[in-house]
Amino acid sequence: MSRRTTSDRGAAAAPRPSRRVGRPVLAVWLVLTLAAALLAVGCRGQVNANAAGVAAPANLLLVTLDTVRADHVGAYGDRTAETPALDRLAAEGMRFAAASSPVPLTLPAHSSLLSGLLPPHHGLRNNGAGSFPSDRPTLATRLAAAGYRTGAFVGAFVLDHRFGLSRGFGTYDDEMERDATGGLALDAERRGDRVVDRALAWLTSVGTAPAAQGARPAPFFLWVHLYDAHAPYNPPPPYRDRHRDQPYDGEIAFADVQLGRLLEELDRRHLAGTTIVAVAADHGEALGEHGELTHGLLLYEPTLRVPLLLRGPGLKAGQVISTPVSLVDLGPTLAGLLGQPLDAHGLDGRDLSSPLRHGGEPPAADLYAETRYPALFGWSPLAALRRRGLKYIDAPTPELYDLDRDPQEAQNLAGQPTRSGAAQGLAGRLAAFEAQPASSAAPAAGSGAETRARLESLGYAGGTAAGNPQAGAATSKAARGADPKARVALFRRYEEANTDLRAGRPAAALPILAEIVAADPANPVFHGKLAQLYRERGDLIRAIPHYRQAAESAPKDAEAWYNLGITLEEAGQTAESQKALTAALTLDPSRPEVHNALGIVLLAQNNPAEAEREFRQVLALDPGDARAFNNLGNILRGTGRLAEAEEAYRKAVAIAPRYAEAWNGLGTLAVERNQPRQALTSFERALALAPAYHEVRLNRAIAYEMAGDRNAAMAAYREFLAAAGSSPQYASQRRAAAQLLARLSDREAGPQSTERR
């Protein structure tokens, strides 16, 4: 990851005032000059005059808090909240009382926050479903072009660089732990203290890097994303003990401490007066209100209303902004405060910097929100429009709420004759917005299977919409699928099953998944999750029908066809597997894991030439795929191209040093070259990495025998037989090992009996 670092080594001395000016006149001149400088600060966000008397741009610290709802913060009225850092910012800066997210999902919300574009216009409508368009500017690209040193530190895979938000950042730290093959993640998030540790180290490097002689220190833009408040809620001590009844609040308290560390570092470096600080949540959390446990399914205030705080030079301390604003306004506003405005052409968000500098309320505007997440389940997407205190939700059963009188959204006014005009007006405005041309996000780089696995580890369903993805009024109610609020109880049960699976309780999840599949038999997500559970338990016979139903319910979902294909291959149904994998590639030929799976099927069908073509296609798409190098090595070894095979295996272990199968391949290759001692080194490495990889024990025994170490070979054969047990998976290998062991035993007994005679 590159790092842009510059700092000031010194500047030219400021010109001295004329000696002919008397002291009283000089004092007046200094006061007037200082007043003018302060006025410039308030108007342009440029705050720290260097030794030459030239104003330098302000720094920017942006902290985004994942999944924090506003009413669980002290400054927003929660007297039990443990949020001193957030409360400090509210006192020292501006608090937005009615800030709203445009979408209750992390990636789309951050994309809007950083770009000023709503989801229909940047194309990211769900987590993991594409990459931010490379031709649209963001706050980061604008500030980088203006000479800012830019760094981002994110707490979860859902904001991985593959989804496009890394553009403009000189450092984009999204490092998450990976598994031994270099593929699927062992974890898809990291705690806030580790994120902030990295951010503070970067800030230190920025502060100590020298600038060119006589140059001003370049300002910085630091974005820190804290994921801690996202489910499952498991705050570290002592917050776990202090918030036993509401661990969600414990997670917020822990995140607040990390924010406090950043603010303290600004204080310590005397940067607080020259840095704009913005803190916002990307969306809230339902916590059971309206039947929703977490977020993403519905568009009620617990998941849309977010804390938003701004502190900086020229901004009035302690002011409360009551006018409803959207997170889509934040990027343009911050750019405006810094004197680096985004090009307003095509933006949905508004630059509110002018009224904020003057301590006034921004003008009112309609606020749009949406969620396409329900479409993954075969249900209707939702869209909403808020106009001051009125909020309309476009759903199969429309909803209208007066938030000023009914903040809990308990009374649906859409059917009341006295409100029909308001409902129709908002519905018409929403329909006109939905009728505008929408953008499609570019495909995200990397493996779709990896993306889905990581999203599922974070509690999100992935895939392609099963039904009609349009949410506008132009779509007939019947074509849109079930109303999500009518399916919220099933969604809650699905989340409970997901929690059980992530906690290692598959037996508890199984009856829940069976129940919701029966209640919603066309739901591809429910079928896919139940199939996954059966497959992981080795019950392929039960898994296959559910994977098949998931693919048929969401026929445009390449991942559904892929899951069906690999399960059919594991069950030995290679012809059917090939059909499913071919369907997946027809939908998305850029998926490396699908080409890899098809290569395995073709190899099982004794078609090594076509299999090799598929593995090479994987590597053309993803040169860092260790599995494909290993599979290619197996084919090359099997066809006698031993030098090429060794090169492939060594590339696999270079990419993933803990990949046991590639080490086993190197060992097997050494056996075929009659290099048993070299083979033993590779086999020992493979066993150390994967003690349950029992084939390696058999291979190691053969290598010992080839090396002439009969006793070690016999011990290794016995070790394999004991480890393999009675598993049907190793039936043929057990027979071979028993025969080889018996042959060695006979050889050992022969000389001994001769000596006795």
Residue 10 has pLDDT above 50, yes or no: no
pLDDT tens digits, one per residue of 170-192: 999 998 765 555 554 445 889 99
From 436-445, 496-505, 707-716, the region with the lowest mean pLDDT: 436-445
Of residues 416 and 181, more confidently modeled: 416
* pLDDT confidence of residue 547: 97
> Which part of the chain is CATH 1.25.40.10?
487-589
Residue 741 has pLDDT above 80, yes or no: yes
* pLDDT confidence of residue 217: 78
Q: Which structure tokens are listed for 456?
A: 């599922």
pLDDT tens digits, one per residue of 77-135: 999 999 999 999 999 999 999 999 999 999 999 999 999 999 999 999 999 888 999 99
| Pairing mode of beta strands 390-394, 220-226 | unpaired
Give CA–CA dist 523/475, Å, rounded. Answer: 20
Residue 32 has pLDDT above 80, yes or no: no
* Range 415-451 burial, b when 16+ CB lie within 10 A, else e: eeeebeebbeebbeebbebbeeeebebbebebbbbbb
* Range 691-709 burial, b when 16+ CB lie within 10 A, else e: eebbbbbbbbbbbbbbeeb
Contact 222, 263 (CB under 8 A): no
What is the residue whose two structure tokens read 């009112």? Answer: 364
* pLDDT confidence of residue 343: 87
What is the residue whose two structure tokens read 């009996």? Answer: 753
| Pairing mode of beta strands 275-281, 367-371 | unpaired
756 CB neighbour count, 10 Å cutoff: 6
> Which part of the chain is CATH 3.30.1120?
372-436+464-476
Its CATH architecture, for the domain 487-589, is: Alpha Horseshoe (1.25)
* pLDDT confidence of residue 503: 86
Residue 205 has pLDDT above 50, yes or no: yes
Residue 369 has pLDDT above 60, yes or no: yes
Would you put residue 314 in left (φ > 0), alpha (ψ -120 to 50) or beta?
left
Q: Which fold, 372-436+464-476?
A: Arylsulfatase, C-terminal domain (3.30.1120)
pLDDT tens digits, one per residue of 264-291: 999 999 999 999 999 999 999 999 999 9
Contact 99, 308 (CB under 8 A): yes
**For 177-197, what is the HEC assignment?**
CECCCCCCECCCECCHHHHHH
Q: Which pTM was predicted?
A: 0.82
Q: Which structure tokens are listed for 138?
A: 């963001």
Helix crossing, 488-502 with 524-536: angle to 10°?
20
DSSP-assigned states of every residue in 205-257: HHHHSPPPTTPPPPPEEEEEEE-TTSSS--PPTTHHHHTSS-HHHHHHHHHHH
Contact 308, 280 (CB under 8 A): yes
% of the chain with per-residue pLDDT over 70 = 86
From 71-85, 228-242, 705-719, the region with the lowest mean pLDDT: 705-719
**For 606-627, what is the HEC assignment?**
CCHHHHHHHHHHHHHHCCCCHH
* pLDDT confidence of residue 215: 63
> Which part of the chain is CATH 3.40.720.10?
39-343
Residue 515 has pLDDT above 80, yes or no: yes
What is the residue whose two structure tokens read 């630091």? Answer: 222
Contact 434, 470 (CB under 8 A): yes
CATH superfamily of 39-343: Alkaline Phosphatase, subunit A (3.40.720.10)
Distance of CA 445 to the CA centre of its chain: 13
Report the chain's mean pLDDT, rounded to a whole number: 87
Sheet of 305-306, strands arranged across: 305-306, 99-100, 325-326
Q: Which residues pair with 393 in a beta bridge?
A: 384, 399
Give CA–CA dist 10/12, Å, rounded. Answer: 7
Please choose, from the candidates 204, 205, 106, the residue with its C-alpha nearest in 3D space to the C-alpha of residue 158.
106
Residue 29 has pLDDT above 60, yes or no: no
